[in-house]
Chain A
Amino acid sequence: DGGITQSPKYLFRKEGQNVTLSCEQNLNHDAMYWYRQDPGQGLRLIYYSQIVNDFQKGDIAEGYSVSREKKESFPLTVTSAQKNPTAFYLCASSPGNTGELFFGEGSRLTVL
């Protein structure tokens, strides 16, 4: 089935450690996105990529990094510089620029 796969679904990390969240899509979409979802705060854009080998910062990029070496893949690294990393992370892709997004099931990161 076509879709977006995020892994892991749940992740625990000690303070000071970097962690990488995987996002793979087989929808042949050019654009991909990473959002952070916190209770009562909606979705906030971390990074986005319109095309392979290019990505742009979103509203809350500090403490995060991404790469886009393949069209299908857009991994997110949560670095030790992110002050409050415990959150639910959503990856999405889009076929164009209408605003319609397709989401993965999310990765819940907990920092102990």
Chain B
Amino acid sequence: AQSVSQHNHHVILSEAASLELGCNYSYGGTVNLFWYVQYPGQHLQLLLKYFSGDPLVKGIKGFEAEFIKSKFSFNLRKPSVQWSDTAEYFCAVKQGAGNNRKLIWGLGTSLAVNP
């Protein structure tokens, strides 16, 4: 079965530290890639997305992610985290054409940033 793996389940950082959250997927065809974020008490929302073109994509709040096709990876990065980045982060992969039934989710990474 196709899958999305997020390597870190819980991450604790101090403010100003750099962040990298890993995401790997197992599908070999065309993909659309997403990072969603769920801040405490808020709805799940899109952080950034990759469909095609430049494999380095920038999202909201200073986040970026790099698509490395050869590694089947789409890692999320931020050079300097803030306390307000405390949230749960989900990687998701849409496999090929067809409807969003083919959107596969990682299990999520809980990030806690200490002030």
Which residues of A are in contact with B by a Cβ distance under 8 Å? Answer: 4, 31, 33, 40-45, 48, 50, 56, 58, 90, 92, 94, 97-101, 103-106
Whether A98 and B32, one on each chain, are in contact in the complex, defined by CB atoms closer than 8 angstroms, is: yes
B:84-115 near A, CB below 8 Å: 90, 92-94, 97-103, 105-108
Whether A40 and B43, one on each chain, are in contact in the complex, defined by CB atoms closer than 8 angstroms, is: no
Binding-face segment, B14-22, B45-53, B74-82: B45-53
Q: How far is the CB of B114 from chain A (nearest CB, A)?
A: 21
Whether A42 and B106, one on each chain, are in contact in the complex, defined by CB atoms closer than 8 angstroms, is: yes
Whether B100 and A106, one on each chain, are in contact in the complex, defined by CB atoms closer than 8 angstroms, is: no
CB < 8 Å neighbour of A99 from B9, B32, B43: B32
Whether A99 and B44, one on each chain, are in contact in the complex, defined by CB atoms closer than 8 angstroms, is: no
Whether B98 and A97, one on each chain, are in contact in the complex, defined by CB atoms closer than 8 angstroms, is: yes
CB < 8 Å neighbour of B92 from A40, A50, A99: A99
Q: Tell me whether A98 and B105 are in contact in the complex, defined as CB-CB below 8 angstroms, given that A33-B100, A103-B44, A105-B42 are known contacts.
A: no
Q: Tell me whether A105 and B43 are in contact in the complex, defined as CB-CB below 8 angstroms, given that A31-B100, A58-B101, A99-B103 are known contacts.
A: yes
Whether A103 and B43, one on each chain, are in contact in the complex, defined by CB atoms closer than 8 angstroms, is: yes
Whether B45 and A103, one on each chain, are in contact in the complex, defined by CB atoms closer than 8 angstroms, is: yes
Whether B94 and A98, one on each chain, are in contact in the complex, defined by CB atoms closer than 8 angstroms, is: yes
CA distance A103 to B39 in the complex (A): 13
Instruction: Chain B residues near A97: list those with CB within 8 A.
Output: 94, 97-100
User: What are 29 contact pairs spanning A and B, CB under 8 A?
Assistant: A31-B99, A40-B9, A40-B107, A40-B108, A41-B107, A42-B106, A42-B107, A43-B90, A44-B105, A45-B101, A45-B103, A48-B100, A48-B101, A50-B99, A56-B101, A58-B101, A90-B44, A92-B44, A97-B97, A97-B99, A97-B100, A98-B49, A98-B100, A99-B32, A99-B34, A99-B94, A99-B102, A103-B45, A104-B43
